[in-house]
Amino acid sequence: MNTKLKLTRGGFAWGDTSCNYHTGTWRVQRPQHEYRAAPCHASCPAGEDPQAYIALLDSGKPQQAWEELVSINPLPAITGRVCPHPCETGCNRGDYDQPLAIHSIERYLGDLAIEHDWAYPVTAPPADAPHIAVLGAGPAGLSAAWHCLRNGLQVTVFDEEAEAGGTLFTIPNYRLPDDVVRAETRRLLKAGINFTADFKLGREMNLDELQRRYAAVFLAPGVMKSSEWSIDGVTPRDLHQGLHLLKEWGDVGALPPMKTAVVIGGGNTAIDIARLLVRNGVDTHIIIHSSMPDPAHPLADDMRAMPREINQALEEGVKILNHHGIKRLLLRGEKVTGIEIIRMRKLPDDNGKLHRIAFDGTESILHVDQVIPAIGQIVDQQGMEDLVHGEHHIKVDAWGQVAGSENVFAGGDAIDGNGGTVTEAVGNGRMTAQAIAMKLKQQGLPVIEPPVVVHYENLNTEYFEPAPRAEQAVLPVAERVGETEIEAGLSVQQVEKETRRCFSCGSCLSCDNCWTLCPDNAVLKSKKMAADGSYYVFDYDYCKGCGLCAMECPTGYILMVEDI
């Protein structure tokens, strides 16, 4: 007891004096802010952090939001249109009402940047910076180039075509208008990427020479060659591959004459060509042994095409024969007149591995005058035979480094195990550029650890309320003619509402919950962001460690840790 303490008459006390007593000494656990990845972030093949850019957009900073977005993916206007958005599948909001329309927001930001011609945020590399060669101006190449630039490297992109874009131009205009591709890629190149057109490896230059001239080479040639296709060795004379037809349509705007067709395959290329055929008056079937996608029960053998695209294709009149396979071709001479199809399914064996099983007695005949395979493409080996070794794809490690080659990297559709999406290609490009930068700095490449993800159970959803998801306006089927883009972007008002739906999983929402609910006033609010990325500071002088803030944090951003 302090003997010098002067007491007050009648036992009154001056206000605020309890602050002299630090209740923090009572604590055995302490709250701390801990950023954890939102599932949208963790599930994005490109590595985007939608939670982060949606937060900025929600805060009324659209340009900063776009800059945050393109710091990962430089092609948001494109991916916002064509990505199958696994981010939305992962979105925790899906467990509450409906997932956030992340792809629509991504597209909105991409379009907004084009509209305002926002400059890509990067500083020019020094003149003596290492120079990187990127082969292929598709999404993987452009992404790699962009990230090399961001890593302070000089970069030149080489492409066979006259303009950058690569495989993006094979996506029909009604899904991805060429104008959008051009607008985004040209703006990106303007950020400081050198572009050399009409360059074919093995024709203008060999790989060896590239390797000699450049500090590193990134190969992103895509898969422009179609896989061989036959039924029991039989191939029709006038066989057209799906990708080939799409490219031809993009280049010349014409298709071979046909009345009925069957497209073989369940990927986006199959859907694209089927929809193109329907638009041109062709009675079109897709035949696929996989299942139709069902978001409720995702199966390993679902069609790979995006559900949205499949639905639109069905709306437009494409007929899909799922769980079917082709048993033989009906030919008149070498020309197709039809196919014999049979019901089949992929079923798991005792080890859980899927096998295709055909069911005898279910055969039937489908009369068509074109059979169009769209079952996948392979890499064109020209100029890099030594790397590919006769395989269909290039083999790389997790960082994109080609096995056995010190300064050659690869990414995009051309590498082995790639899912074939634009977004995945962008992700490969980014990772590889990072690896190149580290390699050039003599840094070792770390093992890639999966991020710690915030799950739905980690959230406190009592602080949210149901709100319908923003849907992009879709043209009615009758108006879907020619090349007109089917889906419109979200309006500003829609975006405002949609961003507000974001749970901000694993990041501070600056909602004031902790500040408001702490019974001990031990959470302080700050105008400036604190070092840990929040706008709140725990006052450990007074925090008793009750854990109420952690329990009531809506985003799972506060964790209680032992503190003895």
Partner 1 sequence: MLKALEGSQAIAQAVASCRPQVVAAYPITPQTHIVENIAKLVANGKMHCEMVSVESEFSAASVVLGAACAGSRTYTASASQGILLMAEVLYNIAGMRIPMVMTCANRAVSAPISIWNDQQDSMAVRDAGWIQLYCADNQDAVDTTIQAYRIAERTELPVMVCVDGFTLTHTLEPIDIPEQAMVDQFLPAFNFKRALNPAQPTSMGTLVSPDFFPEARYSHHQALLHAADEIVAADADWAKISGRASGGLLSIDGPDDAKIGILTLGSVYGTLVEAREEYPDLPATKIINLRAFRPFPVAALCEACQGLTDLIVLERALSPGYGGIVAPEVQASLTSVHAATRVHSFAVGLGGRDIPLEIYRKLHRRIQLEEPAPFTIIDVELERLPVEDYGVE
Partner 2 sequence: MNTEKNSAISIEQLRRNQPRFEGIKSGHRACLGCGQALAARLVTEAAGPDVVVANATGCLEIFTTPWPESAWHIPWMHSVFENAGAIASGMEAALKAQGKSTKVLAFGGDGGTFDIGFQAISGMLERGHNVLYVCFDNEAYMNTGIQRSSSTPHAAMTTTSPPGSERMGKRHLKKDILTIVAAHHIPYAATTSIAYPSDIRKKVRRAMDIEGPTFIHIHCPCPLGWGHDGANSIKVARLAVQTGLFPVIELERTELIGSMPIRHPKPVVEYLKMQQRFRHLFTTKDARAREELEHIQALADHNIKHFNLQGDTMDALDSDGADTVRRGGMRWA
Stretch that binds partner 1, among 10-18, 79-87, 227-235, 240-248 (CB under 8 A): 10-18
Is residue 4 close enough to count as binding partner 1 by CB under 8 A?
A: no
Rule CB under 8 A: choose which of 254, 473, 517, 561 binds partner 2. 517
**Closest distance of CB 2 from partner 1, Å:** 9
For partner 2, the closer CB: 169 or 538: 538
**Closest distance of CB 547 from partner 2, Å:** 3
For partner 2, the closer CB: 19 or 481: 19
Is residue 301 close enough to count as binding partner 2 by CB under 8 A?
A: no
For partner 2, the closer CB: 397 or 512: 512
**Closest distance of CB 25 from partner 1, Å:** 18
**Closest distance of CB 16 from partner 1, Å:** 8
Is residue 212 close enough to count as binding partner 2 by CB under 8 A?
A: no
Is residue 7 close enough to count as binding partner 1 by CB under 8 A?
A: yes
Q: How far apart are the first and last CA of the chain?
A: 26
**For tokens 């005949």, what's the residue?**
365
Judged by beta carbon distances under 5 to 8 A according to partner kind, the member of partner 1, partner 2, none in contact with residue 58 is partner 2
For partner 1, the closer CB: 21 or 359: 21
Is residue 559 close enough to count as binding partner 2 by CB under 8 A?
A: no
Give the count of residues interacting with partner 1 (CB under 8 A). Answer: 10
Q: How far apart are CA 212 and CA 294, in angstroms?
A: 50
Q: How far apart are CA 415 and CA 113, in angstroms?
A: 31
Whose CA is closest to 189, among 244, 120, 252?
120
Max CA distance (Å), the chain: 116
Q: How far apart are CA 417 and CA 394, in angstroms?
A: 9
Judged by beta carbon distances under 5 to 8 A according to partner kind, the member of partner 1, partner 2, none in contact with residue 520 is partner 2
Q: How far apart are CA 218 and CA 430, in angstroms?
A: 11
Q: Which residues neighbour 105 within 8 Å (Cβ) at sequence distance 6 or greater?
A: 50, 53, 54, 57, 80, 490, 495, 498, 499
Q: How far apart are CA 270 and CA 414, in angstroms?
A: 19
For partner 2, the closer CB: 128 or 465: 465
Rule CB under 8 A: choose which of 4, 13, 127, 333 binds partner 1. 13
- Residue 128 three-state SS: coil
**Closest distance of CB 23 from partner 1, Å:** 16
Identify residues 49-108 at the interface with partner 2 (CB under 8 A). 49, 52, 55-56, 58-59, 64, 68
User: x/- string (CB under 8 A) for partner 2, residues 518-557?
Assistant: xxxxx-xxx-xxxx-x---x-x-xx-xxxxx-xxx-x---
Q: Tell me the H-state helices in 342-407.
A: 385-388
Is residue 11 close enough to count as binding partner 1 by CB under 8 A?
A: yes
Q: How far apart are CA 277 and CA 292, in angstroms?
A: 21
Could you write out the three-class secondary structure of 152-216?
CCEEEEECCCCCCCHHHHHCCCCCCCHHHHHHHHHHHHCCCCEEECCCCECCCECHHHHHHHCCE
* Rounded alpha-carbon distances, angstroms, from residue 304 to 376, 415, 548: 12, 18, 45
**Closest distance of CB 545 from partner 2, Å:** 7
Q: How far apart are CA 510 and CA 28, in angstroms?
A: 26
Stretch that binds partner 1, among 14-22, 71-79, 234-242, 418-426 (CB under 8 A): 14-22
**Closest distance of CB 17 from partner 1, Å:** 9
551: number of CA atoms within 13 Å, CB side?
A: 6
Take residue 43 and report the two structure tokens written for it.
């599930």
User: x/- string (CB under 8 A) for partner 1, residues 219-238?
Assistant: --------------------
For partner 1, the closer CB: 18 or 442: 18
Stretch that binds partner 2, among 18-26, 276-284, 362-370, 374-382 (CB under 8 A): 18-26
Residue 119 neighbours by CB distance under 10 Å: 12
Is residue 10 close enough to count as binding partner 1 by CB under 8 A?
A: yes
**Closest distance of CB 520 from partner 1, Å:** 18
Q: If you count them, how many residues does the chain have? A: 564
472: number of CA atoms within 13 Å, CB side?
A: 20
Nearest-5° Cα angle at 52, 47 to 56 = 140
> Does residue 318 contact residue 278 with C-beta atoms inside 8 Å?
yes
Is residue 252 close enough to count as binding partner 2 by CB under 8 A?
A: no
Contacts with partner 1, residue ranges (CB under 8 A) = 1, 7, 9-16
Contacts with partner 2, residue ranges (CB under 8 A) = 5, 7-8, 11, 13-23, 26, 49, 52, 55-56, 58-59, 64, 68, 462-466, 500, 504, 507, 509-513, 515-522, 524-526, 528-531, 533, 537, 539, 541-542, 544-548, 550-552, 554, 560
